[in-house]
Structure 1
């Protein structure tokens, strides 16, 4: 497949053999994982490799090029966080002030600060699905969620990934700038980064875009997937971009781009002590996930929209940035395989996933974890399986067996392979010793035992 290598005053082309081998692996892995199209950019700070493969739309056969923008899903959130911190850098807000000082709809949670929103430590529920959210306005949406009885934990004491928190962050941008979020992120961040803006729901096409895809694993049939996002959720997931755009943002996060002042980049990368994101990452800053690898800490984020999977990693000490986009659900597995190949081919160890403790000891019984836990409208039920061991279901869907450990972490057994996969952790009340919360893939639910 063809590739392009963007060059500029700060970069040179990487050696041809390295580019060829990476291109061959990208092509092969995309075919293996049934991903119609993918992009990869590796920027070492002095050399850049930009690769792409396949199609942007399997239905039309439109090629995926370096200019193609892919729905980023939650990789939109770091852009929104950077936008908020640019306003803070200008003196328009203080990250440690209550959000309710700017947004009356958050008066129900008066202790939640801007910092809490950006680091997912405010105790806000995740928020309803996009179909439900599309039927309401932002202020009403937040007022209904941000109440004392919905709080998952006291602000600043734990971590729960929340789209609602970034809806609030986007509302904050609008309240301070007087511009819609789309206009503010374009003018203050995308334009300085050199990124041509594209958003879910755009009525005008400003650049080539990719669609998401789903693959029937039994038949191999590929179908396109429509992106579905409520307009009020745009600050949490509406951006489209290519891997080259992500790499430019990653370079800004390392402090080697004028698009972000060094103080803003450093603030984003600084880990919050209360942020324990479990299976999502090893830590969290203001808008970016943190990953440990070989004694160094990388920053970045993952994003999954309907039928796409996009990933960004940046290592401030070396300046290395790796950006990847793929337009199918299987691109997550492709990314993990490709990250492993980068070490072999380019000598760069990229943390695709958080570090799992090597030895948590033998599995233990945890009978007091049985019960019902809630995050907003979502119910997580931990029940005893046929053999007495616990199993987890979400809103009554497929119940997956749990393997629990003494540190209160647990694995979920994959229903197809039977292999244990990191699932999350339980929390005990420090006073009563009772299991009071469960974290599932980064989202925390509070125990209710209300059936």
Structure 2
């Protein structure tokens, strides 16, 4: 592990990632490495303090804020939200904080762009909180759900989310508060689009709005992520900001008995944390409801940026990677392989491949149709040579399908990750009525 800097630099060059940080806590020691540039061609090297857009790795910070209020008795995990947010519509008001934190409240996948100018209070009273699945019925990854968590935190504390996360979490942990909106300032890394030929094009601004900052708006370093992870470990030696029992509950799988689990994202889901198995676990069928591994963490994607965190609570082992290229997930897969070769069996869920897929089969024509989860849509088309998928206004990809209706997309650009998904049948009718892609569960419209 002492040559971690050389190994990271090699992988960054090999996969043409503009810049990256790696921080590892293993066997009582902490190792850090940096490689590349904050902005490609700028001459500004990545340092240990460089802040990268964390994307959805912001969500565990927002979840931790909520759990601190649970520990103080200000919120009941299993009480209907309507008791705290009287303006919330039905049936969203029947959902609970536990369901929001575990993506089981049925709220839409995304926050409508038209809501960008709203306050979180006004957004919470809008149609944007109308569930697309019955609360408590299935896992469906939801940015809207976490925006509602942030609104709940603001109502209970009387503080803006930024002020709360700075005061209650970041500064006590010694983390300098930085946000995706700070992209381009000194010490902040820009995201990059990395072309198939390896050319990296900087992205001047992150598209996350002020409204959605609690969902994907933080920026930080790999070392910051280790500091935050330490708060959730039983042997944490720093400030005890979170009750040990509540930290343990956050790491427990919440999805037992649900119709669909976090397929395409993780092996299970806790309260703010995704759950992962080691090599033996990920060799089998992953992502079924109610199954989990011994590791917790989360992934994050920004505009041209990726971040990853994995933690094993019993040993205190933790791994964090930040990268400022659209191909950062490919770098993460390579880092996991490198660490496993060194004897550190990182908990992992393959991001762009299926486990035990078997021989590919033609996709059934019955899967064709339009699917929606709020404003998040996709279209599946049946052609003579198989099924084709388009997500939103994105490109059209041919699907490679398995007998159990799982699939990956073919022909992704070099360095990018293919979509991984599955079609689901209605247990009552046997008809294909749902598709799940990157954890988002979309219902057939036609």
1:211 aligns with 2:190: yes
Instruction: Give the match for residue 371 of structure 1.
Output: 369
Over 3 Å counting, the alpha-carbon distance change for 1:326 and 1:385 in structure 2 is: same
Retained in 2: the 8 A contact 1:411–1:420? no
Instruction: Give the match for residue 213 of structure 2.
Output: 234
Instruction: Give the match for residue 119 of structure 1.
Output: 102
Deviations 1:42-67 (A, max 9, x none): 10251111111222122532222111
Instruction: Give the match for residue 153 of structure 2.
Output: 173
1:263-282 correspondence runs (5 A): 263-273=245-255, 274=258, 276-282=261-267
Instruction: Give the match for residue 32 of structure 1.
Output: 14
Instruction: Give the match for residue 404 of structure 2.
Output: 407
Q: Secondary structure at the residue paired with 2:42?
A: coil
Q: Secondary structure at the residue paired with 1:411?
A: strand
Instruction: Give the match for residue 43 of structure 2.
Output: 61
Report the Cα offset of residue 358 of structure 1. Answer: 2.0
Retained in 2: the 8 A contact 1:133–1:230? no
Deviations 1:305-355 (A, max 9, x none): 11111100001122110011111112211111011101223x101134249
Retained in 2: the 8 A contact 1:82–1:264? no
1:287 aligns with 2:269: no
Retained in 2: the 8 A contact 1:125–1:145? no
1:342 aligns with 2:324: no
Over 3 Å counting, the alpha-carbon distance change for 1:59 and 1:177 in structure 2 is: farther
Report the Cα offset of residue 408 of structure 1. Answer: 3.1
1:385 aligns with 2:380: no
Higher mean C-alpha displacement, 269-278 vs 66-75 = 269-278
Question: C-alpha separation between the residues in 2 aligned to 1:362 and 1:215?
Answer: 30
Question: C-alpha separation between the residues in 1 aligned to 2:443 and 2:183?
Answer: 40
Q: CA RMSD in A?
A: 2.5
1:289-308 correspondence runs (5 A): 289-293=274-278, 294=280, 296-308=293-305
Instruction: Give the match for residue 73 of structure 2.
Output: 91
Retained in 1: the 8 A contact 2:361–2:400? yes
Aligned length, in residue pairs:
424
Over 3 Å counting, the alpha-carbon distance change for 1:300 and 1:203 in structure 2 is: closer
Higher mean C-alpha displacement, 359-368 vs 270-279 = 359-368
Retained in 2: the 8 A contact 1:77–1:287? yes
Report the Cα offset of residue 209 of structure 1. Answer: 1.8
Question: C-alpha separation between the residues in 1 aligned to 2:325 and 2:363?
Answer: 38
Question: C-alpha separation between the residues in 1 aligned to 2:198 and 2:297?
Answer: 35
Instruction: Give the match for residue 287 of structure 2.
Output: none
Retained in 1: the 8 A contact 2:190–2:202? no
Q: Secondary structure at the residue paired with 1:187?
A: helix
Question: C-alpha separation between the residues in 2 aligned to 1:127 and 1:365?
Answer: 28
Report the Cα offset of residue 374 of structure 1. Answer: 0.8
Equivalent in 152, 156, 159 of residue 139 of structure 2:
159
Over 3 Å counting, the alpha-carbon distance change for 1:380 and 1:47 in structure 2 is: same
1:321 aligns with 2:321: no
Question: C-alpha separation between the residues in 1 aligned to 2:417 and 2:13?
Answer: 26
Retained in 2: the 8 A contact 1:126–1:162? yes
Q: Secondary structure at the residue paired with 1:253?
A: coil
List alignment gaps of at least 5 residues for structure 1: 1-17
Over 3 Å counting, the alpha-carbon distance change for 1:112 and 1:42 in structure 2 is: same
Question: C-alpha separation between the residues in 1 aligned to 2:348 and 2:220?
Answer: 20
Over 3 Å counting, the alpha-carbon distance change for 1:85 and 1:24 in structure 2 is: same
The TM-score, its normalising length taken from structure 1, stands at: 0.87
Equivalent in 232, 247, 252 of residue 231 of structure 2:
252
Question: C-alpha separation between the residues in 2 aligned to 1:136 and 1:40?
Answer: 37
Equivalent in 421, 441, 446 of residue 438 of structure 2:
441
Q: Secondary structure at the residue paired with 1:231?
A: coil
Instruction: Give the match for residue 357 of structure 1.
Output: 355
List alignment gaps of at least 5 residues for structure 2: 282-292
Report the Cα offset of residue 137 of structure 1. Answer: 2.6
Question: C-alpha separation between the residues in 1 aligned to 2:208 and 2:393?
Answer: 24
Q: Secondary structure at the residue paired with 1:63?
A: coil
Deviations 1:195-230 (A, max 9, x none): 11111335997x822221222333624334421211
Over 3 Å counting, the alpha-carbon distance change for 1:365 and 1:242 in structure 2 is: closer
